[in-house]
Amino acid sequence: MSFTFAHNNLNVADLGRALAFYGEALGLRETRRIEAPDGSFTIVYLGDGRTPHLLELTWLRDHPQAYNLGENEFHLAFTADDYEAAHRKHADMGCICFENPSMGIYFISDPDGYWLEVVPPAK
């Protein structure tokens, strides 16, 4: 028996805002969508167009409060083929929330407060 990664899920308060952020900041695009017949939820899968891994964004109609992210110790990581250009873009967007220059990484924060790590290509 073996397992492979399929997707990671993040719940979002404003689906349109989240889709715009992930498109602009990371170039992720919608691959498919599931909508509840009663309108109670929408699930959107985003992909990078190069790997099979997906990010699932879930919007729940009856969850109007902000999500409790605890200490926000979990995160997703993205490799940037042009790390310096990515850093400039995210600085211009104002979404960099933490930098660790000694490790050569930084984090951006999405509209719901989830942290996303950006790393240079492996050498």
- Does the annotation mark 117 as catalytic? yes
What are the angstrom distances between the C-alpha of 86 and each of 13, 40, 91, 107, 120?
A: 26, 36, 8, 11, 9
Exactly one of 30, 84, 99, 117 is catalytic; name it: 117
113 torsion bin: left (phi>0), alpha (psi -120 to 50), beta (else): left
Instruction: Dump the DSSP string for 45-100.
Output: EEE-SSSS-EEEEEEETT--SPP--TT----EEEE-TTHHHHHHHHHHHT-EEEEE
Catalytic machinery residues: 117
